[in-house]
Chain A
Amino acid sequence: MVESIIQDISIESLRNGDRAEFAQLVDAYSAPIYRLGLRMLGNEQDAEDVLQNTFLSALTHLPAFEGRSSVLTWLYRIAVNEALMILRRGKPEVNIDDTDLSDDNDQISPTQFVDWGALPEDELLSSEGKQALDTAIQNLPENLRMVFLLRDIQDLSIKDTADTLNLTEANVKVRLLRARLLLREQLSYYYGERMMKEKSNG
């Protein structure tokens, strides 16, 4: 696992420009960073740009890395910033700052009450089901998607997610809940329709 590999990596050696140590860092983290880029940007070319730029930036800034956060959080922070730069090329309005979220509480009220949770696993995880899930994730607003990707896909803690995005933990929790509820709504539409079709087909 990444965590056990990373325990063997010496921050001191990285700071001193040890190339073998840096290669080990790249080996441990390139796959999760590439996946994060893919999820954030939705295409392979942009994900590859994020991956390369993240490690190039890490190489430049390693001597100044103070170790106040974990290397993982630090790398993710660079990757998120690289991805945001690419996102803003197409959509300059993209903003994930710690703005007040209290004005739009409406979006967290569930409207779909289809009981699809008991559907068989192979149906929920069919290729079509996975596609519906990917589309739903891709459709989340950026400020929710970033939090969701780091917490539920990359498996960061609430604290590490907050540190990575420079948000408060309370804000991360609000955004995570909204993201999960929005996904639940979209999946409820999708599986609700499937359940209706199955019923009408007998």
Chain B
Amino acid sequence: MAESTHETCEGLLGSLSDYIDGDLGAELCRQIEKHIAECEDCRIVVDTTRKTVDLVHASNDPQTGLPDDVRDRLYKRLNLDDYLKPSAK
């Protein structure tokens, strides 16, 4: 990162998570956007960190169910066999 903007780069880094999660106030967002318009390294860090989080979400399928055999053993262990519904798959 450019040495002349070192402090601002550091400052941006501290707010990066809040910024990409949309938890930052409008004024701070504006400051960050102004900074990344002028600082290519920070622009890349912001873009690729956001992309990293997006990829994590995209590759994580919350609908993935429990394997049937794991589910059967769990219900058996908990003495809930009689509540074992047929798999949704």
Using a CB–CB cutoff of 8 Å, the interface residues on chain A facing chain B are: 19-20, 22-23, 26-27, 30-32, 34-35, 44, 48, 51-52, 55-56, 59, 108-110, 113-118, 121, 124-125, 129-130, 133-134, 137, 152-153, 155, 173, 176-177, 180-181, 183-184, 187-188
Contacts and interface: CB of A to CB of B under 8 A. Distances in A.
B22 interface: no
A125 B54 CA distance: 11
B44 A114 contact: yes
Nearest to B58: A125
Given A48-B73, A133-B56, A26 B78 contact: yes
Given A20-B83, A133-B56, A177 B50 contact: no
Contacts, number: 109
Contacts of A114: 44, 48
Question: Residue among A32, A34, A121 with the most chain B CB within 10 A?
Answer: A34
Contacts of A121: 58
Interface residues of B, number: 37
18 contacts: A20-B83, A26-B74, A26-B78, A30-B71, A31-B64, A34-B66, A52-B77, A55-B74, A56-B78, A117-B51, A129-B55, A130-B59, A133-B55, A134-B59, A176-B17, A177-B16, A180-B49, A184-B52
Nearest to B75: A26
A35 B64 contact: yes
B65 A31 contact: yes
Contact of A27 (B51, B52, B70, B85): B85
Interface in B63-89: 64-66, 70-71, 73-75, 77-78, 80, 83, 85
